[in-house]
């Protein structure tokens, strides 16, 4: 399949690599050309513009920071939609606004272009392994056309419903994930301050009713002090804000979600904007006068 891939950052580059590795012809573009260097070296073709990436493609994939970037590239000055051929399909892998992707799908349909919103979950590690969860909204025909690409990047591919449904699922997931991360960091610090070895606490919770995915992997990353910015606070604020915005559109009250958003925005303004969400534990440690980072006992792994 001839694929255009636009956005080769932390997630886009490894996803593009798995698509290329599956045998598809790949043209890539990013605002920063060096971000696509490894893909080009592996056999992808560099496209000088979004239009060039999309002009000859059967499918164009986007992996961009958020709604403003996607909208500008697709129907704004980026002009991607104008360059795409009738019968081709545009796949937005970004975490986006359900209402925006529905509007973009309508514009695409006017030009005879299919549209799928297909946000992913699993982080950079999942992108590198091709083991992401892919949540797809759009027509069954477009979904069937693009299934080989989804299966290249993900082990768990879900056709959720019509356009927008994929992002509804992603926003619900991320709201839960970030709410859990905030609570887990507080739990580690509270237990340590009260005198419990955080390694022992980690083992207790993972086998008890408080267990969750974020505790299993996120709390362990905190204890190991391995907090590279794989998911920055800036992006977390964007995602949770999209979830609370969706709730406001639908008149659904969110107490936990809005609390998580307020806490993340506080950390965003306190110097953590570009740091990983889990790194916000540093502020809790400072306030409590206790350290949990770096206390991991490798013998207990």
- Judged against a pLDDT cut of 60, whether residue 300 lies above it is answered with no
Residues 157, 193: one domain?
no
Give percent of the chain with pLDDT exceeding 90: 96
Same domain, 149 and 183: no
Catalytic residue, from 51, 170, 238, 282: name it: 170
Who contacts 41 (Cβ-Cβ below 8 Å, separation ≥6)? none
What secondary structure letter does DSSP report for 268?
I
Closest CA to 185 of 146, 219, 210: 219
Give the chain's domain count.
Answer: 2
Each residue of 45-85: pLDDT tens digit?
999 999 999 999 999 999 999 999 999 999 998 899 999 99
The reported pLDDT for the residue numbered 298 is: 73
Supply the DSSP symbol for 28: E
Digit-coded pLDDT (tens) for 11-33 = 999 999 999 999 999 999 999 99
Q: Is the pTM of this model over 0.85?
A: yes
pLDDT number for residue 301: 53
In angstroms, the CA 202 to CA 217 distance is 10
**Residues 23 and 153 both lie in one domain:** yes
Residues 248, 102 share a domain: no
> Which range of residues forms the domain containing residue 294?
168-300
Cβ atoms < 10 Å from Cβ of 135: 28
Looking at the structure, tell me whether residues 158 and 175 fall in a common domain: no
- Examine the domain organization and report whether 26 and 102 are in the same domain: yes
Are 154 and 23 members of one domain? yes
Please give the average per-residue pLDDT across 113-133, as a whole number: 96
Q: Are residues 136 and 182 in the same domain?
A: no
Neighbours of 59 (CB within 10 A): 24
Q: What Cα–Cα distance (Å) separates residue 4 from each residue in 1, 21, 127, 178, 260?
A: 10, 14, 17, 31, 36
Domain boundary residue, one of 115, 135, 162: 162
| Mean of per-residue pLDDT scores for the chain | 96
170 is catalytic: yes
- Mark whether 78 and 23 lie in a shared domain: yes
Cβ partners under 8 Å of residue 251, min gap 6: none
Residues 154 and 186 in one domain: no
**Same domain for 149 and 8:** yes
CATH number, domain at 27?
3.40.50.720
154 and 192 co-located in one domain = no
């Amino acid at each position: 399949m001839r694929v255009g891939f636009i956005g080769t950052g932390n997630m886009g580059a490894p996803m593009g690599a798995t698509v290329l590795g599956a045998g598809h012809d790949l043209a890539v573009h990013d605002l920063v050309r060096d971000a696509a260097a490894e893909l080009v070296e592996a056999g992808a073709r560099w496209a000088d513009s979004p239009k060039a990436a999309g002009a000859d493609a059967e499918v164009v994939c986007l992996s961009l920071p958020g709604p403003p970037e996607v909208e500008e590239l697709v129907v704004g000055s980026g002009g991607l939609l104008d360059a795409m051929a009738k019968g081709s399909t545009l796949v937005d892998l970004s975490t986006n606004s359900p209402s925006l992707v529905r509007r973009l799908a309508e514009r695409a349909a006017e030009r005879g272009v299919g549209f799928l919103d297909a946000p992913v979950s699993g982080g950079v590690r999942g992108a590198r392994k091709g083991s992401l969860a892919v949540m797809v909204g759009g027509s069954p025909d477009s979904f069937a056309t693009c299934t080989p690409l989804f299966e290249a990047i993900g082990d768990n591919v879900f056709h959720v419903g019509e356009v927008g449904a994929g992002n509804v699922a992603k926003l619900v997931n991320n709201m839960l994930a970030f709410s859990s991360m905030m609570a887990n960091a507080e739990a580690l610090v509270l237990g340590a301050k009260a005198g419990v070895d955080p390694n022992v606490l980690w083992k207790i919770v993972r086998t008890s009713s408080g267990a969750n995915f974020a505790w299993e992997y996120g709390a362990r990353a905190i204890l190991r002090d391995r907090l590279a910015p794989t998911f920055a606070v800036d992006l977390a604020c964007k995602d949770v804000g999209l979830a609370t915005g969706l709730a406001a559109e639908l008149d659904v009250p969110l107490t936990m979600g809005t609390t998580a958003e307020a806490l993340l925005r506080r950390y965003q303004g306190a110097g953590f904007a570009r740091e990983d969400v889990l790194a916000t534990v540093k502020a809790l440690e400072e306030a409590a006068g206790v350290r949990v980072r770096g206390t991991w006992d490798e013998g207990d792994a």
